[in-house]
Structure 1
Amino acid sequence: MSAGDQPAETPDEPAAPAPRKWRDRHAVAARNVGWAVTALSLLLVCFALLMPTSADKFTPGVFLRIPVEAVLGAAVLIVLPRRPRIVVAILSGAILGVLTVLNLLDVGFNMFLGRGFNVVLDWVLFDDAQSYLKDTMGNGGAIGAVIAVVVLVLIVLVVMTLAVLRVSNVMTRNRDAASRLTLVVGTAWVTCAALGLQLSGPGIAARTTVARVEDRVNRVQATLKDEAAFAKEAKKDAFGGTPGDQLLTDLRGKDVMIAFIESYGRSAIEDEATAAGVDATLTAKNEALTKAGYSAKSGWLTSATYGGSSWLGHSTFLSGLWINNQNRYRTVTAGEHLTLTGAFQRTGAWRTVGVMPGVQKNWPEGKFYGLDNVYDSRELGYEGPKFSWSTMPDQYALSAFERLEHGKKRDKPLMSEIILTSSHQPWAPIPKMIPWDQVGDGSVYEGIEKAGKDPADVFYDSKKVKEEYGKSIQYSVNSLIDYVVKYGSKNTVLVFLGDHQPLASVSGSNASRDVPVSIVAHDKSVLDKIDDWGWTDGIKPDKSAPVWRMDSFRDRFLTAYGSTPAKR
């Protein structure tokens, strides 16, 4: 036989048997796994359609309802031909995945900021969130968290798409049974809706996703309308045209400090988990002020923000406009609306400065606020460690203010805006008060920071986080009042307040947005000007003290201290 010849096949030789599939070898197990996957897919779809947007509303009763979207979706998928059905199932799953991600964002925003996620305005906050993670978890931890979030979003999108596709395929293979079940469930939904039946809360007949989509669309439309309306509102200003010589005439010659204490909310004073320590500190510091010849009056302001976005509270307080979102903030800071600090600058009678330890990059808003000079974290000379998000302890920031500005000889009094950041979440580690002459360049804080608590051990413990939050407020109040007692004079006037309440895990899910505000002065006549405000004597406001919206303070303050509204 030549090399090119091939041997003839033997026709009687049996072919090798094809390997049996796993399904064939384990038919019962495969059927059980298939039903389990189908049931899990159905549960995932129903969970996504019914999930609430607040963590405190995740109760069993919320999920024991009939989502109308599932009934309508099943009816459509049953009657569609194969190819259109697959396309519709994939698109529906992807959309449901996106809605689930948005719902999860709502849960997070409600937990931290006391409001839902705004799909128009809130994307810019992710940059701040990433910076916060970097400050609290380190660069590696922040990168890991970002990667985890991206992976989670992709998993949600893919799993939800596969779940809808799985349910669709099963219904098609069992079309008659699926049609009957859809009809029965649809009839039950109509009956429950007509009778208003409910278990322990929401009605059994649910249209959660439809209502939520409608709400998001309405919020987008409202946001876009608000932008134009607020631009017009910001141009109206009762004191915008007032000449400098008619502004703040009753405070001439006074050194005025406006200090914001991060997250200093009403809960710090009234929540039983923090009240004892904070109230004791306020009482002790009030006695120290009295002994040094100072008097004080206090009330409440309702902040435009909650749990974070401090700059919204700062701008609301200083501009006299209700700035409760980033779009309003951009609009007002790009304009020329008169701020409280700007009013001092316009008079020409004060040097105006800002002490901003939380600012770590260029801050063009300083011009809008009317500040002659801004000292940010890079210009305060701090050589010590960061305390989580806070770049430096409050006592150091105030010590640097004394060294750079307040303690120097000047030809005019000083108006200062000071942001105190040591009470910023995650409230660990917390600095400690040290003798003022030992503050130096901040290197002394190395040991204090290392001896402090780990943020991860505090922030996620519901009891510890409240305790440490209260301690951080005590530290900030101690720093500020001790500074005034030590370095203040007969011409010192201090206005200090919180910018917003702490997040819901500390203040409570139903907490108000109220923050304390106090005016401290050595000259009693300064407080006489606000006798008609009805505020409480001392630096702790009474529960019954007046509560004003934060945007009303600017005009009340300007009016009380001799400012004349511009003639129209």
Structure 2
Amino acid sequence: MLHLSQLLLALFILNSALTFQNRWPTVGVRWVPELSIELALLLLVLVLIAAWRGAPGRRLRCAVLVGYVILTLGRYLDVTAPALMGRSINLYWDSPHLPQVAALFLDQVAGWQVLLGGLALLALLTALVLVLRWALSTVIEALDHTPVRRALGVLALILLVPYGAGWLIPRLPVGHGFALPVTAMLAEQVKRVLAATVFRDHGRIAGQPPLPVSDLSRLGKGDVWVIFFESQGALVFDDPRFAIPLADDFATLERSLLAAGWQIASARVESSTFGGSSWLAHSSLLSGLRIADQDDYHDLLTSNRATLVSRFAAAGYRTVALMPGLRYAWPEGQFYRFDRIVDAERLEYHGPAYGGWVIPDQYSLYRLHQTEVTPTGRSPLLVFFPTINSHAPFAPLPPYHPDWSHVAAVSDATLSSGAVELSGRLDGEELAAAYVRSIRYNLAVLGGYLRQHAPANALLLVLGDHQPPAIVGGRDISWQVPVHVFSRDPAIISAFQAAGFQVGITPGSTALGGIEELGPLLLRTLDRPSATHAADAATSQPNGIHQK
């Protein structure tokens, strides 16, 4: 016999399965007092079917259960992905990267923890299916009772009519008590798949204006380093949780570099990505185009667009990509046409592994310095260096060696920060503390190299690629990243000031623009003073390299 309490509990479970929210900063969820319009629509459909043909059969029940499980898992993705990453998920483009992300978070986690976590996840999914099955069966069995069926139909209409009115007339407040429908997210995913395949615009990249041509004469043949600090977002200056513990580190770096003869100018720009997909920010800077998703990225790589690399090569520079995180084939290297790509294998690192990326950034930088910077009679260098040690989960972290000659002579005993428990890697507060330590490491490596090894006529453009994942810094923050210029030449620093930078390590409060504007800005700023040939040449030169 059906009890009203059972029916109410079943409805509560089914509604909660489509209305829960993320419990930030974790991967957990929390209950919220909202209603599911999809449940109301399902109730109405089931009521009509029961009134027309009787209680649904086994096949329909299985179909409803499968559909409800999909909606529940879709809801979890819809509320968890933005809380962790800071942006909505794109299943078409993000799915291929999920194994690598999982590998990073499981790196150096004990095997028994991984097994226990896998079993717990399997048990949770099994429990979810069983609970939803019971709740749906309870509701469907209730449809055999005419009064209950009619009551459920009226309840469904009571919810659907005002929701529809609120959808047609946005000024009506009736929609505020409803959760955002999961079906809208699923429809958006289908739309994104179609936009990435059937309706993709292949001509957008080719129709963009080329990068300006520059003779780079302000440099006087000095080396240029473009260093991307992984995950170093503007929150290191904006958010007190990070700005306060890092304030002394930035101040010490600034004082020590000024004492060593370096001058600094800083600004901020809007990245083209948030919380991950660093290659989008890299390609935006190098191409001078806003590359904000994999569609744009693919179109760029199949174009013949000139990049910052080809512009420097045309001015007589040897172009080198220092890629310590690169352990597989990199098709982008063919597109950019670097003279040399120094990947993980070529770095010949044999020390202890620090997380999934293995190699300390200090080692990578010093190794390249020995092989590319110290030789005499060489061409000036353009070095492109995306760092890796401040990548999530930000641990284990290598120690910084003040004596750089000892960097290559590491031993297992120098593994300083240790592995992080699996629970810690999924906890926002512990990740935030590890993030602060990783930024501190970045600043130590940068300061040490500038004081001890960087050529006197070098220019370093150092910037973040994106804000850290939202589980660390929060979801509703800007996409801004800091960018710093280091040079011993006051004229170069003045030129960047004229372009909108301000003196010192702390950037201003307003972004100069998108990260894609930095490449053209760099070329124009380093061109000969008062030259006008760059704009003229840009319109007359062929559009760069050819991608085969």
Shorter-chain TM-score bucket reads 0.7 to 0.9
CA distance in 2, matches of 1:315, 1:219: 21
Please tell me the residue identity of whatever aligns with 1:381: E
Q: 1:566 offset after TM fit, Å?
A: 2.1
Please tell me the residue identity of whatever aligns with 1:498: G
Cα deviation 1:500-532 (Å, max 9, x = unaligned):
111112211211111100111112222232232
- Counterpart pick for 1:345 among 300, 303, 313: 313
Q: Could you say which residue in structure 2 is the equivalent of 1:405?
A: 372
1:131 aligns with 2:98: no
Q: Could you say which residue in structure 2 is the equivalent of 1:264?
A: 232
Counterparts of 1:306-345 in structure 2, within 5 Å, are 306-345=274-313
Q: Secondary structure at the match of 1:567?
A: helix
Q: 1:201 offset after TM fit, Å?
A: 10
CA distance in 2, matches of 1:72, 1:385: 61
Structure-2 change in CA distance of 1:205 and 1:313 (3 Å): closer
Q: Secondary structure at the match of 1:509?
A: coil
Cα deviation 1:441-465 (Å, max 9, x = unaligned):
3524x22325536354643444343
Cα deviation 1:236-277 (Å, max 9, x = unaligned):
34336x77xx55343350100010111101112222222123
Tell which deviates more after alignment, 132-141 or 274-283: 132-141
CA distance in 1, matches of 2:352, 2:148: 67
CA distance in 1, matches of 2:180, 2:394: 40
1:43 aligns with 2:12: yes
1:439 aligns with 2:406: yes
Q: Could you say which residue in structure 2 is the equivalent of 1:170?
A: 142
Tell which deviates more after alignment, 92-101 or 449-458: 449-458
User: Are 1:133 and 1:142, in contact at CA under 8 Å, matched by a contact in 2?
Assistant: no
Structure-2 change in CA distance of 1:192 and 1:301 (3 Å): closer
CA distance in 2, matches of 1:420, 1:207: 39
Cα deviation 1:106-148 (Å, max 9, x = unaligned):
3332123212222322221123223324435367766776676
1:204 aligns with 2:171: no
Q: 1:372 offset after TM fit, Å?
A: 1.0
Tell which deviates more after alignment, 186-195 or 503-512: 186-195
CA distance in 2, matches of 1:42, 1:165: 11
User: Are 2:108 and 2:419, in contact at CA under 8 Å, matched by a contact in 1?
Assistant: no
User: Are 2:266 and 2:505, in contact at CA under 8 Å, matched by a contact in 1?
Assistant: yes
Counterparts of 1:40-119 in structure 2, within 5 Å, are 40-52=9-21, 58=30, 60-63=32-35, 67-81=39-53, 85-119=57-91
Please tell me the residue identity of whatever aligns with 2:90: N
Q: Secondary structure at the match of 2:482?
A: strand
Q: Could you say which residue in structure 2 is the equivalent of 1:387?
A: 354
CA distance in 1, matches of 2:22, 2:106: 27
Cα deviation 1:352-388 (Å, max 9, x = unaligned):
1111111122222122223111111222121222222
Q: Could you say which residue in structure 2 is the equivalent of 1:27?
A: none
Please tell me the residue identity of whatever aligns with 2:514: R
User: Are 1:192 and 1:204, in contact at CA under 8 Å, matched by a contact in 2?
Assistant: no
User: Are 2:105 and 2:393, in contact at CA under 8 Å, matched by a contact in 1?
Assistant: no
Counterparts of 1:345-494 in structure 2, within 5 Å, are 345-347=313-315, 349-444=316-411, 446-450=412-416, 452=418, 454-456=420-422, 458-494=424-460
Q: 1:191 offset after TM fit, Å?
A: 4.8
Please tell me the residue identity of whatever aligns with 1:49: L
Structural RMSD (CA): 3.4
Which gives a bigger RCO, structure 1 or 2 (Cα 8 Å, sep 6+)? 2
User: Are 2:272 and 2:290, in contact at CA under 8 Å, matched by a contact in 1?
Assistant: yes
Aligned residues: 528
Structure-2 change in CA distance of 1:109 and 1:88 (3 Å): same
CA distance in 2, matches of 1:377, 1:140: 29
1:554 aligns with 2:522: no
CA distance in 1, matches of 2:492, 2:43: 68
Q: 1:475 offset after TM fit, Å?
A: 0.9
User: Are 2:44 and 2:156, in contact at CA under 8 Å, matched by a contact in 1?
Assistant: no
Structure-2 change in CA distance of 1:390 and 1:206 (3 Å): closer
Q: Secondary structure at the match of 2:91?
A: coil
Q: 1:152 offset after TM fit, Å?
A: 5.6
List alignment gaps of at least 5 residues for structure 2. 528-533, 541-548
Q: Secondary structure at the match of 2:150?
A: helix
Q: Secondary structure at the match of 1:520?
A: strand
Q: 1:425 offset after TM fit, Å?
A: 1.6
Normalised by the length of structure 2, the TM-score is: 0.85
Q: Secondary structure at the match of 1:362?
A: coil
CA distance in 2, matches of 1:117, 1:460: 18
User: Are 1:98 and 1:157, in contact at CA under 8 Å, matched by a contact in 2?
Assistant: no
Q: 1:499 offset after TM fit, Å?
A: 0.7
CA distance in 1, matches of 2:329, 2:38: 53
User: Are 1:113 and 1:307, in contact at CA under 8 Å, matched by a contact in 2?
Assistant: yes
CA distance in 1, matches of 2:278, 2:416: 27
% identity of equivalent residues: 24
CA distance in 2, matches of 1:392, 1:527: 33
CA distance in 1, matches of 2:210, 2:180: 49
User: Are 2:397 and 2:416, in contact at CA under 8 Å, matched by a contact in 1?
Assistant: no
Normalised by the length of structure 1, the TM-score is: 0.83
Structure-2 change in CA distance of 1:105 and 1:250 (3 Å): same
CA distance in 1, matches of 2:83, 2:229: 21
CA distance in 1, matches of 2:292, 2:320: 25
- Counterpart pick for 2:216 among 223, 248, 258: 248
